Structure 1
């Protein structure tokens, strides 16, 4: 009998948690907002994930596709699909290496695209975080980073650096 009461108590207290007090809901909404602001600010030429892939290649020219997937926290098949699309747009090159790996590099056109995106990325950052004070912004980013780090292994595609 005490177990049933405890279970009923848990069920009723869970049902009483406001949707806006549930981290998963808030994270989903934050992602929706972030993607929306990305497209509003930068257009639809590049997706947020393609941008992350290209920025990672800018910082790590010549890395292989598997390492890229690990650094961007994507599964390898999604990363391969994105790489094919980016190569088709002329923004990256993919060179076959030993053991079937592929070396990835930005092209001059890909570098130029990222350079053109800098002002828009700064606008996007301001649109997303501009209403926060400097200390709130620092705290928000620090806590978000900590949340992602401590929960990394729970991800479908954990980040590996």
Structure 2
């Protein structure tokens, strides 16, 4: 059954460049490319999110960390192992095979260096937009993510 507009006429198909999924994928491509351009390739955007959360909430266990950054637990375990091998975190074994994650001094130094660069990245991403449009985009993306959180393979659980 075709969707109809308010007047009852069939709605035309969306142009590819107006499809939300396509636009979101392109926005992701652009932000990742700009992330690497601004911050280098030592840290991925997802690794940055993990490090940032550990800086904000020291000593999280791996499962809680996964929930707070919307990753599945196996991906989080892989990322934690990589970050540990780089010397940026320590994984401490807890009861019931859980692991507590703590930034090392090197990890804290890294986050302190990257955070201002991420602020600059944000400014670059919104260059050419006025502040109201930038805030509207963030507000609408946040709303979209919140409304569709449970559709994710790894829902955010703040």
Give the TM-score normalised by structure 2: 0.92
Larger-gyration structure (1/2): 1
Partner-residue secondary structure (3-state), 2:157: coil
- Structure 2's unaligned 5+ residue stretches are 5-9
Q: Number of residues paired by the alignment? A: 153
Equivalent residue in structure 2 for 1:31, among 21, 28, 45: 28
More helix by share: 1
- Post-superposition shift, 1:123? 1.7
Spell out, residue by residue over 1:66-118, the C-alpha distance to the aligned partner (whole angstroms, 9 max, x if none): 00000000000000000000000000010000001000010000000011112
Instruction: Give the equivalent residue in structure 2 for 1:127.
Output: 124
Instruction: Give the equivalent residue in structure 2 for 1:90.
Output: 87
Q: Aligned equivalents of 2:157 and 2:50: distance in 1?
A: 14
Q: Aligned equivalents of 2:30 and 2:100: distance in 1?
A: 33
The worse-fitting range, judged by mean Cα deviation, of 151-160 and 121-130 is 121-130
- Post-superposition shift, 1:159? 0.4
Give the TM-score normalised by structure 1: 0.90
- Post-superposition shift, 1:13? 5.0
Query: Which of structure 1's runs of 4+ aligned residues deviate more than 6 A?
Result: none
Q: Aligned equivalents of 1:22 and 1:31: distance in 2?
A: 14
Aligned 1:1-161 pairs, distance under 5 A: 6=1, 13=11, 16-161=13-158
- Structure 1's unaligned 5+ residue stretches are 1-5
Partner-residue secondary structure (3-state), 1:138: helix
Cα RMSD for the two superposed structures: 1.6
